[in-house]
Chains A and B, each alone.
Chain A
Amino acid sequence: MSQSSLIDSSLTGHLILWSALGLSILSCGTGLLAVRRRGLQLAEMAKRGLVATTVLILSANLLLLAALISRDFSLFYVASYTSRSTPRVYAFSALWAGMEGSLLFWTLTTSLFAAAAVGFRKISSPLIPGATAVLSAILAFFLGLLVFGADPFSISSPIPQDGGGLNPLLQSPFMTIHPVMLYLGLTGFAVPFSFAISSLIAGRQDVHWFTSTRRWTILAWSLLTVGILLGSAWAYSELGWGGYWAWDPVENASLLPWLTATAFLHSMMIQERRGMLKVWNVGLIIGTYSLSIFGTFLTRSGLLSSVHTFSESPVGKYFLPMLGLILVGSFALLGWRLDRLRSERQLESMLSREAMFLFNNLLFIGIAFTVLWGTLYPILVEAIEKTRISVGPPFFNAVVTPIGLALLGLTGIGPMVAWRKPSVTTLRRQLALPLIAGTATVLALAAAGVRSAGALFAMSLCSFVAVATIAEFAQGARAHRGPGPFGYISGLRRVVGRNRRRYGGYVVHLGVVLIFLGLSGSAFKQTWTGELKPGESFEIGTFKVQYVSSNIRVTDEKMINMAIMQVSENSKVVKTLRPQRNFHLQQRQPQSEIGLMSTLSRDLYLVLTNMDRERSVTIKAWVNPLVAWIWLGGVVMTLGMIVIISGRPPRPQTLRAQDSVKASAPLQPKEQVRV
């Protein structure tokens, strides 16, 4: 690297960040002024400022990316996370592999969401100036962090010949996508948050703040869901411990905003339809955004250690005041506007859609509180008693499993129940088929020899919900069926096409059922650990696994120890698995590559933990039933999300069409449209 390029990237980077910081502060101030004076020109300026800030942030990211790809080791960040032997695609993902780069990238995703949600909208729409101010303030905070706390453009001196390289655990296709999804999801909640704050500032009491940002909220939620699922798929296929979710504090940090956001997606329907829960909804979106900031704080504070945390850094101390400001500021604003956010109606029946949503919210928040408490409890105890304790997965499993199953049950019942005061007889009729399916499942599984009460219950609940959800589709198709033999299919197409949000939601529910089915398989997990000489074998579940031979190779990057394992079932060879234990020469770190045979009924998962000089191997093996259904459920959920997002924003007609399907509870005309 020449001396001139050294000065260039670093100096240019700093210049861009500083100007973006200045511009974001300016557009925040202009936005606030526009709110105060109701000035359209000021609002336009603020909006343009936000878009320009986004362009600057984007160019800072591109600059760092270019430096990473050209391996410009004059930048300390580049030298820390790439080396000459790092494959190009992973040099790309090194942008978010380190603390400084990931913050820069986090700022980028926030700004892209902000510019997209605000930039293409008419400034005359009333919430824009306030939202612009809030979003600019958020960007200003992160830009300040980049300028003062975590500089991605600092110079390395002396310039090293080669860089440190990317951690081999991060060199996985999952790791190129998973953080991107997660970041987009977490930062996307800035949009509904900023509109909620803007609505509070303006003292409005309508639903405009979330109806006009709903697609962004759903998009953010979808990306977060996919990000979390990809993260657990990465843990399962890369970390080699046979599991996919460990209740690690950082996993929890991504789950927390997901839980409150999911509660919000459901409860905003009550406000939209019935004018209830206004304060609660604003509270939920404030909570969701705060939790997503809290998550970034946890991973960067050095407060806890996990496989996902970045190294300790001074950045943590900036986050707490930011979090405090968001919480205190937002809730103070909410308190100030409390009198304007009265419920327009009250609950009319315990067996109404409203009540189902309320219980849904209660349970989601219950899980969120459990996860938050379990994550923070060790920190609190250490601070108060000075003893260090740990809260393990048994705690989370014991509390979250029953609440999760109750929620699953609601997933089945909720959509059957109409708004306001449904008739009990209709509900009873709708419940019959799902109940029969659930009972039949218990009997069939018990007859097949399943004895775990928890798994029996979970699986029968899964079939109850699946049948109830499919019945919703069937009912809709019948109500809209056309003539001829394919009338039902055209009816299904028509009803789904007209109510994408609703039926897309049901598809997401079906995905959730599949995920629960996969999770319940963990009750039948089997494991085996032992040492094998070449030719020896062991049995696990219905499999016989033989250690046939070994293979040792050395490449530029790593030394590969591979065990060739032949898997047979019923004395027939079904597959050869090749678990590896590799030693990365540059990072001087071992890394396991698992041997995995995945089928719909079960996974066989082999980890090579050691190979000695006589070529004896130590193998840890798992049989994980039904795990594939988790990933399948994730795919189904994603399809559902695509259906939801592809729908047009609801028009009054669409709302009415939704009601005509629910024949049991006709709404009063004046209540049908609440936009």
Chain B
Amino acid sequence: MSDEAPSSSRTAVPEHPRSRPGLVFRELAEEWVLFDPDARLLHVMNLTAALVWSHCDGEHTTGEIVRAVAEAYDDPPADGRLEDDVREALEAFARKGLLREEGAGA
């Protein structure tokens, strides 16, 4: 996400990432925002992060999300870069507690 500083340590991402319930995702001008009412925090996303978030439905693996995001671009970023961006976005979501824990009920 655009408001996230790079982190040296990797964060575990669930195999099928799924958004935590109760979060509010909206488009605002040419940005996307995700509001966490519990933490009263607003996260601002760039296009890639927003596309990744849209696929955090518990149905897609990380690899499938990479492919889905690539398909959304007319001219996807060069080999490997998009995958890195998607992984970084997913790790940022996990680090901020925006994803359901692995094994959490529906």
Does B bind A? no
**A interface list, Cβ under 8 A from B:** none
**B interface list, Cβ under 8 A from A:** none
